[in-house]
Amino acid sequence: MRLNDLGLVRTGIQRPDPDDVARLSQFGVATIHEAMGRVGLLRPYIRPAYSGAKLCGPAVTVLLQPGDNWMFHVAAEQVQAGDVLVAGCTTESEDGFFGELLATSLTARGCKGLVIDGGVRDVADLESMDFPVFSRAINAKGTVKATLGSVNIPVVVANALVNPGDVVVADVDGVVVVPRELVGAVADASQKREDNEEAKRQQFRDGVLGLDLYGMREPLAAAGLEYVEG
């Protein structure tokens, strides 16, 4: 972020092919992360606000100021059906930036959920609305509306760079970011990985050991592993 990015709203962002997003949504975060070359994960302190929450969609990004949720209201205007709101902050803050009223507004816009490196509140209401939220904290402390941030600029969220239009996938295992231009390829790679794992899963059901399936015996012996009786 540059200083002249503050107070900026970028409109008309590019989004990936919706069919590619739909294909990607069939896979879990762990599968996508592995299929993409073990990159793109947010730090594991970003957790679902309630059990069963999951989401997948193109990112509308928000840069917040600590203790201030003004820019969420600005961002709501930029949300299209199927989008996910992804929010970072200029410095660490666990205040309750987001709650039921904002979720109601975003639901009317077709928003699929929120990922925020900050706090949220009204969690029972969010769960009853089935509005998925992944956050750094749950905190009843409210915020003000006084300081400009930005909308649809690159933001760093829990150590991961998120560009507008990147696809964010979140479930109980964590949150992963897929660059917009790679969504189709990562969906293909995820399917290939899923098919490969199903084949292995069947062999494990049949009693095959990982030692044999993965050809581990020779390298283990070369590393000095010995078997002894008793």
Contact at 8 Å (CB) between 168 and 115? yes
Amino acid in the structure at residue 64: L
Binding-site residues for substrate, in ranges, read 99-102, 121
Contact at 8 Å (CB) between 41 and 174? yes
What is the Cα–Cα distance from 128 to 135, expressed in whole angstroms?
Answer: 17
Taking the CA atoms of residue 52, residue 55, residue 61 and residue 67 in that order, the dihedral angle to the nearest 10 degrees is -10
Binding-site residues for Mg(2+), in ranges, read 122
Binding-site residues, in ranges, read 99-102, 121-122
Length of the chain: 230
Contact at 8 Å (CB) between 115 and 175? yes
